[in-house]
Amino acid sequence: MPLVALPAKIGIRESRHVRALHQLTVDELLTGKRFPGAIANGTYRIDVHNASGASVKFQELSKDVQFYQIPYASLVPRGAKNVLVAGRSLDADE
């Protein structure tokens, strides 16, 4: 196995995700959708991990999109009180 393929083999990338007030989508990131309750901006390419395997698909932002945003609502679990999630547990479609 080449060294460049090693990160996709180490550990479990996909695990648990919450169902939050908003589910962030790849389309929202790629089109640079703006959210009134944004808590973060990102410029890193989007890496979509295969939930049932070890493959990764990278998607670059277009030249028209300078950054994407992460909305606060994607961190707030539905029905929970005084709870936020962080990191890869946020509600996202892929």
* pTM for this predicted structure: 0.74
Give the pLDDT of residue 54.
67
Give the pLDDT of residue 48.
73
Q: For residues 16-28, give the mean pLDDT.
A: 88
What does the DSSP assignment read for 50-68? -TTSS-EEEEPPPTT---E
Name the β-bridge partners of 46: 59
Fill in the amino acid letter for 35: F
**At 8, is the pLDDT very low, low, confident or very high (cuts 50, 70, 90)?**
low
Say what the alpha-carbon torsion angle 52, 43, 26, 10 is, to the nearest 10 degrees. 0
Query: Using one digit for the tens of pLDDT, what is the confidence trace for 64-73?
Result: 999 999 999 9
Among candidate residues 94, 43, 39, 37, the one with its CA nearest the CA of residue 67: 43
Percent of the chain with pLDDT over 90: 45
What is the distance between the alpha carbons of residues 8 and 67, in angstroms, rounded to a whole number? 25
Q: For residues 33-45, give the mean pLDDT.
A: 93
Percent of the chain with pLDDT over 70: 74
